[in-house]
Amino acid sequence: MNSSVEISIVIVNWNTKQHVLNCLRSIFETRGVLHLQVVVVDNCSSDGSADAIAEQFPEVQIIRASENFGFAKGNNLGLKLVSGRFVALVNSDVILRQNCLQALQAFMLPLGDVGLCGPRVCWPDGSFQPSCKRTPSLTRKFSHVLGLHRLGLKSWGFAGYHMDESEHVHGGNIEVLVGCFWFARKEALDEVGGLDERFFMYGEDDDWCMRFRRAGWRLSYCKDAMAVHVARASSSKEPERFKIEQERAVLQYWEKWRGRTGKWIYLSLIVLNSCTRLALGVGLFLLFPADRDFVKASIRRHWACIRWISGGAEL
């Protein structure tokens, strides 16, 4: 390990040229005196991202992948080069605010049992963005399908996946950190290993966090570090495809941790959710003409999911 590097940063990029340039700019503008190593894995982008990075940020190490390897494998390629005491995996559509890295490092240094943490994340308008979740469960999925998580029934077990803002701030032990920005202790990362490459995109956050916890490492949240997450910079280009990738990842997670029976039960809830949302979307489409563009996008996503499942869904 190169002792002169305090923090290594890995960014995976796929056709998000302007976002990744903004991300890199924010890293170098806010690093202060920190000694950083920055690695960008370009997943065979067609928008000139890699060339633009090389021209504007010559200090960045660029891995030019021969194809789109996805989020997990892309990050693993970058992790092979890291040399810092701490390692940050940052989405290309994230902007670091002042002292973000410094706050994360200061937070982690005295907490030797914390292997992974995340900063406070906000939307571009400055509003709070959930970045801490609960571990996937059948109860939580059922709660989401029926909207029970919106009724304040946490004490009944219908809390949903995402934690609210007060739970973020006061949460010392987090079950799942959303993968837009992870800050890992290198020692913990070496023990747990990289991301599971069976997850192309989505699901790897639930899986990796589970593995950290199973290995005895705590996950935590640093409210004093802040980053802006634009969100869906890549997935917005092909929303139906990425909806399917999201559900595919969930099924992979359930088969890995709950077996085939858990996977089949969860699949039934995916079908119920898609059919419910599809029926609701048709109703909204008829009743609210002004919102039809938004509703049509939702209908297309859930219809694509139903067609994918009916076609076999790689079961």
State pTM to two decimals: 0.83
Query: In the prediction, which pLDDT does 122 show?
Result: 96
Query: What percent of the chain is predicted at pLDDT more than 90?
Result: 57
Q: At 315, is the pLDDT very low, low, confident or very high (cuts 50, 70, 90)?
A: very low
What pLDDT score does 168 carry?
A: 76
**Tens-digit pLDDT profile for residues 109-127:** 999 999 999 999 999 999 9
pLDDT at 300: 85
- 207 vs 297 pLDDT, higher one: 207
pLDDT at 154: 59
Query: According to the model, what pLDDT value does residue 200 have?
Result: 81
b/e 107-144 (16+ beta carbons within 10 angstroms → b): bbeeeeebbbbbbbbbeeeeeebebbbbebeeebbbbb
Mean model confidence pLDDT for the chain: 87
Of the listed ranges 45-49, 142-146, 174-178, the least confidently predicted one is: 142-146
- Report whether 234 contacts 16 (CB < 8 A): yes
pLDDT value for 234: 54
- Render pLDDT for 18-44 as a digit per residue (tens, 0 to 9): 999 999 999 999 999 999 999 999 999
Residue 167, pLDDT above cutoff 80: no
